[in-house]
A and B are shown apart, each in its own frame.
Chain A
Amino acid sequence: MTRTRLGAACLLLVGAMPAGAQDLALKAKPPRRVLLSWPSRTAGERVAAVQSLVDLVAPGESWRSIGLGARTPLGTRYSTVAGAEWLAVTVDEPSNYVAVADTRVRTRWPVTDVGMAAAREKYDEVLGALRGRGLFGQAEVFSEPVVTLGRMGMGNREGTDTRQAVNEYRFTTRVVVDGYPVGNAGATIGISAEGQLASLAVGGAEVVSIAEADAQAVGGDDTARVVADLAGPGARLHVSLDEWMYVVPGGESRWVEPRRVVVYSRVRGDIAERGEIVAVDRTGRVERLSDPSGARGPGDRRMPGDADEESAP
């Protein structure tokens, strides 16, 4: 087994493949395994990461004038920068997640809409700038981005005065290793409808080592049957993502091969279930990546006014 600290040499410099091409690739060549882990950053490193993003999203704001510094509550998940309330900083330490957003974009009717193609060009430019700031370790390859939209609208009770607009194009990309995306590491770059950088989020797990696959794990591809069975009897399956990637549940560090990740929900009659996320390995073994905290039993029913209605201890 080869254990190598992640370096440029370890990254095969190709883009992420669609699911079909990935299937063929798996059969042609056993994928390598990667060790994913969640890095622990010092406060100084987190402040530096936030500053890097602020410099890009709000270049007119100096570090001091927007109040970021040692007292900024980076240990908490969400904060708004004092003196610049429109600038929202999000830090989630367990998932090594840092985000900065100009929230004014979310509430301002855009004067113009540059469209997807121009927004994509801006995204490419910003991704290039991010690469130069060392926020992804030595990762150099990113998957083709998934695009989501920021939208806003209004209306009234009479059904008139109705208006809506796209206010942000949001591109999410993932680090790519050996031709497969890492589902736990990436970046989201938001471009306003007017063509300006509006939000940035980066972070996730680190690829610590790469090794050749365990020969015993190289076998048949039983995932197709498993995915087809996700619907179960009498239900309609809606799949919003189906892609091979390296992924671990949040907080877990372990060796993984590429697995087929499926994000889906089922419809039974009129009922639309909430979404589920599963990872299926090549032997057909399924791991639920959605929050695993399971169903609970019936609780006691105490009506309001009872002495034991809940309040803070």
Chain B
Amino acid sequence: MSTRFTRSGGDGAHWRRESGRLLAMAILVLASCARLEAQETFYFGEHTDFTGNGCPEVQDLNDITTYFRGRVLADGWTGTQFLNAACWPQDYKESSWAPGRYDSILGDGRTLVAYSGHGCTGGGCLAFGYPHAGECMVSIGTEMALGRLAGNRAAHVMYLTSCTLNVVPPAPVSADVALYANEVWQQYGFHDSPAIQSGAGGGTFDCTDTRPNYDCWLDVMEHRFEFWFGYNSPIVFSFGQTAAQAAATRDNCKLKAGVCNSPAPEPWWYYVWNMHDAGSGPCF
């Protein structure tokens, strides 16, 4: 038997280091076991057409989730991608709070949920290009409850939108809205208004075969590799019931490798965040 995890006398730093490894390994084992029980699933909603459809007229966008969908399907995941009029704000709204909402089977019925479109300067909304039942927005703080209540399956939430995880020092004031709404392993978004390349979602997913989710999100979403300007400010929040668990979530969770794809422990109590900060753009 290896002596790797035996305590060497008097070496406190070594023991702390090895304890941290043991904790991380325990999380990895638990999360990997969960993968055996549950099929990984996704829900990708995206609005690219924001002109002439009955919602506020803003800039049309490039399509990010189509390539992303192809990459997760190729890895054996199953799920749904809805574009424009097929994607409803109600897909992300908590089903148990009002009729006509579908997060129990879509947003909160899947392992990985993403929305690609526009956001709000204060970080508290998702903006849609086509209305459904007269609605063009999701108010994250009052209408979203992913990873809890009805559905309760979401493990990771990605906001391919402006400002949704904007961090205002000294506390994550804007991001608070999303943090407290959901109970998941990790939430991914932007501190600014990013220009996102169409392959970025799929590239992030592929990267997580070997590297932690947070690391991939920061590196892939930061910029377009062909331009040496115009950097984005990607940010990831990782959660746990202790500070050490939140850090272990950050350091170990890998979507493609199947680590942390089960529903997250509830309630989270601590978070850690990591970002590449190129400024906050028009967000506040």
Contacts and interface: CB of A to CB of B under 8 A. Distances in A.
Interface stretch (A59-67, A208-216, A239-247): A239-247
B61 interface: yes
Contact count band on A: 35 or more
B226 A310 contact: no
Nearest to A270: B120
B109 A250 contact: no
Contact of B61 (A173, A250, A295, A302): A295
Contacts of B130: 298
B15 interface: no
A187 B130 CA distance: 41
* Secondary structure dominating the interface of B: loop
Contact count band on B: 35 or more
A277 B230 contact: yes
Interface string A268-312: 111111111100000000000111111111111111110001111
A235 to B, nearest CB: 8
A312 B74 contact: yes
Interface centre among B50, B75, B226, B232 (most CB of A within 10 A): B226
B273 A152 contact: yes
B276 A312 contact: no
Interface in B25-76: 48-50, 56-63, 66, 69, 73-76
Contacts, number: 276
Interface in B201-226: 203, 206-207, 210-211, 214-216, 218-220, 224-226
Nearest to A158: B269
A296 B194 CA distance: 20
A277 B227 CA distance: 10
A56 B254 CA distance: 28
A155 interface: yes
Nearest to A250: B226
B193 A78 contact: no
Contact of A106 (B48, B63, B274): B274
Contacts of A188: 228
Contacts of B210: 78-80, 85
Contacts of A174: 228-229
Given A148-B278, A157-B267, A296 B230 contact: no
A154 B58 contact: no
Contacts of A24: none
Interface of A: 38, 76-80, 85, 88, 90, 92, 94-95, 97, 99, 101, 103, 106-107, 146, 148-157, 159, 161-162, 164, 170, 172-174, 183-188, 203-205, 236, 238, 240-241, 243, 245, 247, 249-251, 261, 263, 265-277, 289-305, 309-313
Interface of B: 48-50, 56-63, 66, 69, 73-88, 102, 105-106, 109, 118-122, 125, 127, 130, 161-163, 167, 169-172, 180, 192-198, 203, 206-207, 210-211, 214-216, 218-220, 224-233, 243, 246-247, 250-251, 267-279, 281-283
Listed from nearest, the 3 A-B pairs whose CB atoms lie closest are: A250-B226, A186-B228, A298-B85
